[in-house]
Amino acid sequence: MLLLIFFYNEHMNEAVGKTICKLRKQRGLSQEQLAEIIDSHQVYVSEIEKGKKLPSLTVLLKIACAFDMSLSELAARIEENL
């Protein structure tokens, strides 16, 4: 069971990061620009995109707003990458 949870968490982090990176690039934003929009730091955005950090729901909402989409739209995009 623990292995399954680890596997799921690892893939969730990767899916979130991959989705955010793709959407950021589609909108022509740098990591630094996205970080400024969501009131964060470039290093944190980089860690999210690399799958090293999983953002909180609050941060995901800010990211969704930065991409001009709802949180549910962002979640659907992330789910496509799972």
Q: What pLDDT, in 10s, does the model give residues 36-51?
A: 999 999 999 999 999 9
CA distance linking residue 15 with residue 77, whole number of Å: 9
pTM of the model: 0.87
Domain covering 2-80: architecture: Orthogonal Bundle (1.10)
Annotated domain spans of the chain: 2-80
pLDDT in the model for residue 32: 98
pLDDT in the model for residue 11: 85
